[in-house]
Structure 1
Amino acid sequence: MASDSQLLRPMPGLVSATLRTLVGLSLLTFIWGRFDSRIGGPWGGASLCVDADWISVGVGSDHVASHLKGRSTVDFTPRFCASHATSYQHLLQTAVGLSLLVVTVGGLYLLNKALSTAARDGVYTRQTAARLANLGRWMLFVPLAGSLLVANVQALLLATLTTLAPLTAGGWTHFWHVPYLSMLTGAGLIVFARITRAGSDMREDLDGVV
């Protein structure tokens, strides 16, 4: 019968390599971006734009209009960009990228810890169950908090670019996308952690009987 470490291969090494690569590339991008403004990544860059997909603007191009069928119409989503971004705008852009990076790196870190613990101590152990529960709570709450933060920061950033979207109490809702998949995954991991904990207790009881 294959051991737990063999069953988990190659996931622990793959997740660990992905985590190290992501962190390394992010640090490299940050350092390089301090000397070259064209470098973007999670820290921002020369291009600072925000899409406002709830603002519909008609297109008056004869070329586009000539290709419409029937009574159809066409319009586009405006993209507001800063030709010469201020330090405040760059700070807001960096906050968006940084929050997304923290959610991703944090999730990968906790997944790496869970897989490493399972490979070392076994799948049905209290240590593995605790690691899975931590990962589940992260996936359930942190992406939700991150999405709220990103939505509010993007609303602030758009308000600095146009008067068509002034800063209001509910302006952030236009940018908010509920991370349903990560939340459902987190809830599933928490349930699986409880199952793993129950399996660990059963194994300890059997070992005691034997």
Structure 2
Amino acid sequence: MDAVAKKRTIKVRNPLDLLTTLSGMAVCLVVGGYGWAAVTTLFGGGTLFGYGHDAVPCVATGDMGLDSDSGNWLLRPHAGIEVVPTHVNLCTQNPSAGQRLWYTLENLPGTVTLIVAVLVTYLALQRARNQGPYSSGFAAKLRFLGWFLLADSVLRPTIQIYASRRLWTSMADGPMDHSWQPVWACLLAGIALVTLARIMTAGTAMREDLEGVV
């Protein structure tokens, strides 16, 4: 009877297995994709951050309001109608070293954010799957990711706008219409993760106290 009961026992899968697998796939795609881009750029067949044989660094403007008399347009707006072209790109086929540098600095922060977020999420889920969600390692990784996203929400737009303006001034005269604002998604996610890390830390301490009593 015991043998039959054991055979009928259903193996309970860890509920975090699917998330861990998906996050692992995301890590492979992100790291592998940038790694492949780096290799192809090194051998002259690809582009990465403004480097490579066919790289064309560009900088996008903000919203630029122009009236109907300020230029020649394919359409003909009526009198008093404002033409608002958005995301006008300035590109150079023969970038200087400085232009490549500013283009890299403009795009690199977003890439770093993506790689760090995907990698830390994978490591946190691995720790939660192996040791449970109420573990010091899982809480520490959540806390790190939360503070990273909070810092990223402020530093990333600051760096990007500064680099964009420097790249803009190397391609055109006149001010660049870009206003600074935090990355709201990262800001809110960072606050949520830091709060969740504190909850997990308190839960871990309670679990350790109960295990000590038992």
Please report the TM-score for the alignment, with normalisation by the length of structure 2.
0.81
Contact between 1:49 and 1:81, CA under 8 Å: does it hold in 2? Answer: yes
Q: Indicate whether 1:209 and 2:213 are aligned.
A: yes
Q: Deviations over 1:116-151 (max 9, x none)?
A: 111111111122111111111111113421221111
State the AA in 1 paired with 2:134.
Y
Q: Structure 1 unaligned runs (5+)?
A: 166-170
Name the CA shift for 1:62/1:141 in 2 (closer, same or farther; >3 Å): closer
Q: Deviations over 1:57-101 (max 9, x none)?
A: 445557511xx5785332424432223211211121122222221
Contact between 2:152 and 2:186, CA under 8 Å: does it hold in 1? Answer: no
State the AA in 2 paired with 1:178.
P
Aligned to 2:131: 121
Q: Structure 2 unaligned runs (5+)?
A: 1-10
Whose helix fraction is larger, Structure 1's or Structure 2's? Answer: 1
Aligned counterparts, 1:19-168, within 5 A: 19-36=27-44, 39-44=46-51, 46-58=55-67, 60-61=71-72, 63-65=74-76, 68=77, 72-77=81-86, 78-165=88-175
Tell me how far apart the structure 2 counterparts of residues 127 and 48 of structure 1 sit (CA, whole Å). 42
State the AA in 2 paired with 1:120.
N
Aligned to 1:191: 195
Contact between 1:29 and 1:41, CA under 8 Å: does it hold in 2? Answer: yes
Contact between 1:151 and 1:176, CA under 8 Å: does it hold in 2? Answer: yes
Name the CA shift for 1:71/1:164 in 2 (closer, same or farther; >3 Å): closer
Contact between 2:158 and 2:180, CA under 8 Å: does it hold in 1? Answer: yes
Tell me how far apart the structure 2 counterparts of residues 83 and 136 of structure 1 sit (CA, whole Å). 40
Contact between 1:43 and 1:97, CA under 8 Å: does it hold in 2? Answer: no
Tell me how far apart the structure 2 counterparts of residues 53 and 95 of structure 1 sit (CA, whole Å). 18
Seq. identity, %: 24
State the AA in 2 paired with 1:135.
L
Name the CA shift for 1:143/1:20 in 2 (closer, same or farther; >3 Å): farther
Name the CA shift for 1:57/1:34 in 2 (closer, same or farther; >3 Å): farther
Name the CA shift for 1:113/1:190 in 2 (closer, same or farther; >3 Å): same
Name the CA shift for 1:62/1:43 in 2 (closer, same or farther; >3 Å): closer
Aligned to 1:168: none
- Note the C-alpha offset of 1:176: 3.1
Q: Deviations over 1:34-56 (max 9, x none)?
A: 3437x344455532221222433
State the AA in 1 paired with 2:99.
Q
Please report the TM-score for the alignment, with normalisation by the length of structure 1.
0.82
SS at 1:123's partner residue? coil
Name the CA shift for 1:82/1:207 in 2 (closer, same or farther; >3 Å): same
Contact between 2:48 and 2:55, CA under 8 Å: does it hold in 1? Answer: no
Tell me how far apart the structure 1 counterparts of residues 92 and 66 of structure 2 sit (CA, whole Å). 19
Tell me how far apart the structure 1 counterparts of residues 34 and 73 of structure 2 sit (CA, whole Å). 45
- Over the residues paired in the alignment, what is the CA RMSD in angstroms? 2.7
Tell me how far apart the structure 1 counterparts of residues 152 and 73 of structure 2 sit (CA, whole Å). 48
Name the CA shift for 1:80/1:110 in 2 (closer, same or farther; >3 Å): same
- Note the C-alpha offset of 1:160: 0.2
